[in-house]
Amino acid sequence: MPTLDWIGKEKVISHHHDVPFRVLEHKYGFRADNPADKSETHSGNKIIHGDNLEALKALLPEYEGKIDCIYIDPPYNTGNEGWVYNDNVNDPHIKKWLGEVVGAEGEDFSRHDKWLCMMYPRLQLLGKLLSSDGVITISIGFHELNLLYIICRELFPAKQIVIVTVQTSGGKPSEGFNYVQEYILFIAPKGFAPNPSIAAMNEYSSPYHAMTLAGFNQVTRPNQVYPIYINRNTGCFVKVGKSLQQLVEEQLYIGDNIDFKFDYNTSSDEIVAIWPVTKKGDKCAWRLTSDSFKVNWDKGYIKIIPQNPTEKNQNLFSVQYLADGIIQKIESGELDAYRINENDDIPTLEIKDFKTGGVNITTIWTDKQYYTVKGSTELTEILGEKGLFPYPKPMKLVKDILQRLSKKNSIILDSFAGSGTTAHAVLSLNHDDNGNRKFILIEMMDYAEIISAERVRQVINGYEYKGKKEEEIYSKKLSAKNLLQAETFLKEAQDIVEMNKDKYDKISKPAIKDNCLKVVGTKVFADRMEGLGGSFDFYELGAPLFNKDDTLNEEVGEKRIRKYIYYTETREHLTREQSEEYPYLLDYHDGTGYFFYYKKGELTTLSHDTLNIVPEKADYYVIYADTCTISKEQLVKMNISFKKIPRDINRF
């Protein structure tokens, strides 16, 4: 796969390993029910002030592989000056980092090289924090879009990377062109299944899709070309036949694959053979191998439907399947599935109240609520002052992204937090669906407290506001293809009006606007915007865990040292509390007991006399201490691995 090279890449490609591990210092907690209480809320909502590279590393012991959704709005690198967050990457914080890591400040780095040097290690750490089925979304302008796509291809080779175009203004004329768009880059797993769009969830449709794979055939996918045998009377699956690949390997077919004929003859009149054929009659392949088909059928993920044969397609049945994303949601309990048929021979599942409107994410977004000016207006309304933060993202844009990607209990991270829009969107989503999503914001600039955190406080408690807010609660695109369904759409819109009449002060009648049938709900606020509720904790980046001479920084506290050591050993977050009875036990993991024999200001020695620090038998022991007087041979016999403090404490 082609990779991108730039000035300084060799310096930053492994820089995330060299970033010092710093602890997080809790400054205060904020809660809606008692704003005067500054103690830690333990809510899981965090706002962190500090360099996001160091802050991301500080999150690893607790959150590696656990972040479900990441949204970031990094500098666009337009060359503009004077922003609160300077998007020319000439901010002194970033310049200092570039000077220390990449080269002298006076070196002739192009701003694109600098931007890549800034982004690359941050994306590496974001990848470590992301869960296996999590999604990263990145807002970006055209200035760095192409470079961002290429480095994400390099960093996330197993993911699908998709660019969505978002209309963010009515136009920015420049040298004969009118720029109206920005972009969102999605980094998602293969088989990704987003949540349906709330605005488009209007009517039921089957979650099953045709199992034929057009574009492939017996030449390109011989292992996915095989007959499926079905009982014509009951519609039950009977068996699968050998694939063309198997027939060739067993020398049961010796011709060219292109000449292979589909044999519909069977040994029984009750059994029919079904082959992968498109509606147009073209030979193709099944989406699943024969082994996968049988497994999916047994689990209820295959649907067999009678169909009328045609001259082009002789199949008496069509075969449908559930995509991986739907299956994941069934198995996680997110979708409520039940058996369609009482017949035990047909295990096929159906999904309760499955809505398919807007299931897939379109790659062009044109909602005027996404215009940048909306974000500026919102921030002015919340903080009561204009111009505090230029061009913040509209809350609806971020909220709609998170609505498509997150579950009710997701952890959501924004490491370029800016004005705090992501936290606002999370709180709003939770308020709408009674969710328990958690947000983690990181902001390096000094306005992390006076803008980012203040915005979150205001939307939690509510703020002074007089006016009205309009919300689009129904929108159906009208086209020549679906115009015949206008009566159905109108009925849906009228039902939406009836369902929401108690939620709004005014609801418009269904009306056509922007080639869509729309319903708009309006809330009127006399003097105050209702608070969304919630809480958060504010942190500063604290001291590094290791001193410059590589000794342990004991001032960070034993609790944090214990968590760090357990994480570096197990890649798990330490949840076990230290006990008085066995103060040196960290925890047990996969049959191994981990011990940190440590006393601040004193030397500890692992000896036969001090082995009583081990409370119970394990298969193996890892014990940290300052020194050890037990011989290596004896340690081996006792299944003990001794590790010297601080020499053997892993750095990651």
- The closest alpha carbon to 8, from 91, 118, 95, belongs to 118
The beta strands (E) that lie in 18-76 are given as 22-31, 46-49, 67-72
> What's the rounded Cα separation, in Å, for the pair 372 and 375?
5
> What's the rounded Cα separation, in Å, for the pair 425 and 437?
10
Per-residue pLDDT band at 108 (split at 50, 70, 90): low
Instruction: Give the pair of three-digit tokens for residue 179.
Output: 């720029």
Instruction: Give the pair of three-digit tokens for residue 584.
Output: 């040196």
- The closest alpha carbon to 40, from 412, 420, 538, belongs to 538
The mean per-residue pLDDT over the stretch 87-96 comes to 62
Asked which of 35-39, 377-381, 387-391 is least confident by mean pLDDT, the reply is 387-391
> What's the rounded Cα separation, in Å, for the pair 549 and 186?
42
pLDDT score recorded for residue 84: 41
The percentage of the chain sitting over the pLDDT mark of 70, rounded to a whole number, equals 92
Judged against a pLDDT cut of 60, whether residue 89 lies above it is answered with: no
Judged against a pLDDT cut of 80, whether residue 525 lies above it is answered with: no
pLDDT score recorded for residue 15: 83
pLDDT score recorded for residue 82: 44
The mean per-residue pLDDT over the stretch 460-468 comes to 82
Q: Tokens 């999904």, residue? A: 351
Helix (H, G, I), strand (E, B) or coil at 72: strand
Judged against a pLDDT cut of 70, whether residue 469 lies above it is answered with: yes
Q: Which residues contact 444 (CB under 8 A, 6 or more apart)?
A: 49, 50, 51, 52, 93
Judged against a pLDDT cut of 80, whether residue 565 lies above it is answered with: yes
Asked which of 27-41, 413-427, 467-481 is least confident by mean pLDDT, the reply is 467-481
The beta strands (E) that lie in 574-631 are given as 585-589, 592-596, 605-606, 620-625, 627-628
Per-residue pLDDT band at 81 (split at 50, 70, 90): very low
Model confidence pLDDT, tens digit, residues 497-516: 887 778 888 888 888 887 78
**Cβ-contact 274, 316 below 8 angstroms:** yes
Strand order through the sheet with 46-49? 22-31, 535-544, 46-49, 438-443, 411-414, 67-72, 130-140, 177-188, 160-174, 364-365
- The closest alpha carbon to 546, from 635, 451, 614, 647, belongs to 647
pTM equals: 0.74
pLDDT score recorded for residue 122: 94
Q: Averaging pLDDT over each range in 192-201, 202-211, 327-336, which range is the top one?
A: 327-336
Model confidence pLDDT, tens digit, residues 540-561: 999 999 998 888 999 999 999 9
The beta strands (E) that lie in 228-357 are given as 228-231, 237-240, 271-274, 285-286, 302-306, 317-321, 337-339, 349-351
pLDDT score recorded for residue 201: 59
Per-residue pLDDT band at 78 (split at 50, 70, 90): confident
> What's the rounded Cα separation, in Å, for the pair 248 and 535?
64
Model confidence pLDDT, tens digit, residues 223-246: 999 999 999 999 999 999 999 999
Helix (H, G, I), strand (E, B) or coil at 380: helix
- The closest alpha carbon to 395, from 517, 529, 510, belongs to 529
Between 467 and 158, the higher pLDDT residue: 158
The mean per-residue pLDDT over the stretch 390-399 comes to 93
